[in-house]
Amino acid sequence: MKVLVNDAEINLAPGMTVRHALIGAGLMSEVEGGKKVFDEWGNEIGLDGALSENARIYLEGEKPA
């Protein structure tokens, strides 16, 4: 399935989580450094959160205006 992390396309197997998407995007170190993850509506989401096809997630301060 395709998800977008900071608007970059990441392909994951169905059932993968927010954590897997961030690892695929190479951004886990930023989360471990204290940044939070948000969905496209600005809701904070956890690393174990489920993702669906075409989901959009953003690291704190990375969502375009």
pTM: 0.89
Pairwise CA distance, residues 44 & 13, whole Å: 23
> What was the pLDDT predicted at 61?
75
Which CATH number goes with the domain that contains 45? Answer: 3.10.20.90
In a domain, 46, yes or no: yes
Could you tell me if residue 65 is inside a domain?
no
> How many domains does the structure of the chain reveal?
1
User: Containing domain of residue 42, as a range?
Assistant: 2-59
The pLDDT value recorded for residue 63 is: 65
Residue 65 has pLDDT above 70, yes or no: no
**pLDDT per position as a tens digit, 2-41:** 999 999 999 999 999 999 999 999 999 999 999 999 999 9
Calpha distance 10→59 (Å, rounded): 14
- C-alpha 43/C-alpha 63 separation (Å) is 12
